[in-house]
Amino acid sequence: MQVEVMKNILGENDSIAEDNRKFFHDKKIFVLNLMGSPGAGKTSLLEKSIEQLKSKLNLAIIEGDLFTAKDAERIDKLGIPVVQINTMGGCHLDAPMIQKVTNDLDIDSLDAVIIENVGNLVCPAEFELGENKKAVVLSITEGEDKPSKYPLIFKESSLIVLNKIDLLPYLNFDLERVKKELSVMNPRAKIIEVSATTGQGISEFCEWIRNEVEHEAF
Amino acid sequence: MQVEVMKNILGENDSIAEDNRKFFHDKKIFVLNLMGSPGAGKTSLLEKSIEQLKSKLNLAIIEGDLFTAKDAERIDKLGIPVVQINTMGGCHLDAPMIQKVTNDLDIDSLDAVIIENVGNLVCPAEFELGENKKAVVLSITEGEDKPSKYPLIFKESSLIVLNKIDLLPYLNFDLERVKKELSVMNPRAKIIEVSATTGQGISEFCEWIRNEVEHEAF
């Protein structure tokens, strides 16, 4: 019975996600669903990237979080539009939540929206939001076994960001082995190494976003 | 309607959790529900601790994971009983899953069972398993803001393990501030600093477990 309920919830979500997708497409907006564990460094990655992106793109951020507006406050300081969604304990964003907040953005002025999902390597991958692409941030401090233990999120992502790469010398983490495993698991995904602390790889992340915005078949 | 369904699911879970609690109590077994993000270091903490605990306690481990048996295989190598639960994509363990696997353990020989929950800082805190105590492992690489962003799991835990403490010199992490925040958020929780890599704090974790086993009012 739980399975049946889950199917209904997902079915309803997918239908609203399609509405969102059509809405954003009509407005010619590229939408990225950015996922990852708690503490993978999603907000830090955005902070660093916004500095480079904001002069070239009209970008807005939708922040998903359980209760606080901490991440939205961090983004707001950078002078780009940001909307906070609080899931009130819920472990992922869903399509109706996104639909509800689109009115809070000056949609017609935007080229791209990045949605930072709730910190969670499981549930967010199951809920379409109406995005063009999914990306996952994996901090290398989380360990080599995460892709094989949480395969769905890595299989569904078009971009895999290996973050906190500056800590590599202090960890037991075989970077080449993990990259190889990821490329077998998801051959079409681009993999980039990033440090939101040192700035390494941030340009590459920004370039990927800008390419996606340009090449999206609007 | 989703809220109503959730209430029913939680109600049913709580009732089976009570059965589990009574079952373990009658068998005089202390049960710990060990939670934390993906990559917080739950399995590594157990590996290090089992070396110290296994000569003093009859201990078994229940491993929760989405698909793989990787963690159970790591524990099995240490020569103590381990049972794997695969949630098949589910983001937390629940009480019926625990009830089902109790027959796979030689229950009458045991003093304690540690249940390693699915790597997730949100959902596991909502589902009682029938445990005596909850503990949460937070890797300091996850960042200072995790307690305030994911309060439930930290409020419900009797023990908070700050792991990967060996990486402190390489991080922007104000340890004293976080410990103070945690002690305000949950004054009854014990907080210990651990490195599963260097072994720091492992004895303290083991002593906490042994104290709980001894002082549990059986």
Hey, is A173 helix, strand or coil?
coil
Which amino acid appears at position B59 of this protein?
L
- Which element (helix H / strand E) includes A174? none
pLDDT at A11: 86
B152 CB within 8 Å of a chain A CB? yes
ipTM of the complex: 0.89
* Residues of chain B contacting A120 with CB distance shorter than 8 Å: 91, 120-122
pLDDT at B1: 44
Question: Which residue does chain A place closest to B67, by CA atoms?
Answer: A149
Which has the higher per-residue pLDDT, A141 or B1? A141
pLDDT at B10: 80
Question: Which residue does chain A place closest to B41, by CA atoms?
Answer: A142
A142 and B197 in contact by Cβ < 8 A? no
Chain A with chain B: Cβ pairs closer than 8 A: 108
Widest CA span in chain B: 51
* Residues of chain A contacting B123 with CB distance shorter than 8 Å: 91, 122-123
pLDDT at A106: 95
B142 and A167 in contact by Cβ < 8 A? no
Q: pTM for this structure?
A: 0.93
Do A178 and A148 contact (CB within 8 A), yes or no?
no
pLDDT in tens, A109-122: 999 999 999 999 99
Question: Which residue does chain B place closest to A166, by CA atoms?
Answer: B170
B149 and A37 in contact by Cβ < 8 A? no
Do B174 and B181 contact (CB within 8 A), yes or no?
no
Widest CA span in chain A: 51
Give me B74's structure tokens.
Answer: 């790591």
Percent of residues in chain A assigned helix, strand, coil, to nearest 5? 50, 20, 35
Closest Cα in chain B, distance from residue A124 (Å): 10
B119 and A149 in contact by Cβ < 8 A? yes
A8 CB within 8 Å of a chain B CB? no
DSSP letter (8 states) at residue A120: B
pLDDT at A1: 43
Do B66 and B123 contact (CB within 8 A), yes or no?
no
Please give the average per-residue pLDDT across A60-75, as a whole number.
96
Examine the pLDDT at A209 and tell me if it is beyond 90: yes
Map tokens 């937390």 to a residue.
B92
Cα(B48)–Cα(B199) distance, integer angstroms: 7
Examine the pLDDT at A10 and tell me if it is beyond 90: no
Residue B170 exposure: Cα atoms within 13 Å on the Cβ side: 17
Please give the average per-residue pLDDT across B31-37, as a whole number.
98
DSSP letter (8 states) at residue B14: H
pLDDT in tens, A17-58: 999 999 999 999 999 999 999 999 999 999 999 999 999 999
Closest Cα in chain A, distance from residue B122 (Å): 6
Please give the average per-residue pLDDT across B7-35, as a whole number.
93
Do A57 and A111 contact (CB within 8 A), yes or no?
yes
In our burial notation (b when 16+ CB lie closer than 10 A, e otherwise), range A151-174 reads bbbbbbbbbbbbbbbbbeeebebe
- CB-nearest to B39 from A5, A37, A41 is A37
* Residues of chain A contacting B90 with CB distance shorter than 8 Å: 122
Do B122 and A37 contact (CB within 8 A), yes or no?
no
B78-85 own/partner pairs: CB under 8 Å, 24+ apart: B78/B47, B78/B50, B78/B51, B78/B54, B79/B54, B80/B50, B80/B54, B81/B105, B81/B106, B81/B110
pLDDT in tens, A82-91: 999 999 999 9
Examine the pLDDT at A196 and tell me if it is beyond 80: yes
Examine the pLDDT at B2 and tell me if it is beyond 90: no
- CB-nearest to A123 from B91, B119, B149 is B91
* Residues of chain A contacting B67 with CB distance shorter than 8 Å: 149, 151
pLDDT at B6: 66
pLDDT in tens, B80-113: 999 999 999 999 999 999 999 998 999 999 999 9
Which amino acid appears at position A188 of this protein?
R
pLDDT in tens, B38-53: 999 999 999 999 999 9
- Of the pLDDT bands very low, low, confident and very high (cuts 50, 70, 90), residue A218 is low
* Residues of chain A contacting B150 with CB distance shorter than 8 Å: 38, 66, 119
- Of the pLDDT bands very low, low, confident and very high (cuts 50, 70, 90), residue B215 is confident
pLDDT at A215: 84
- Of the pLDDT bands very low, low, confident and very high (cuts 50, 70, 90), residue A128 is very high
Which amino acid appears at position A36 of this protein?
G
In chain A, the percentage of residues whose pLDDT exceeds 70 is 96
Of chain B residues 172-201, which have a CB less than 8 A from chain A? 172, 197
Sheet containing A159-163, strands listed edge to edge, beginning at the edge strand earlier in sequence: A82-86, A59-65, A112-116, A30-36, A133-139, A159-163, A190-193
A167 CB within 8 Å of a chain B CB? yes
The residues, ordered by sequence, that sit 6+ positions from B42 with a Cβ below 8 Å of its Cβ are: B34, B35, B36, B116, B117, B119, B137
Cα(A194)–Cα(A168) distance, integer angstroms: 11
Please give the average per-residue pLDDT across A130-139, as a whole number.
98
pLDDT at A3: 59
Among B156, B179, B191, B143, which Cα is nearest to B39's?
Answer: B143
- Of the pLDDT bands very low, low, confident and very high (cuts 50, 70, 90), residue A78 is very high
pLDDT at B9: 74
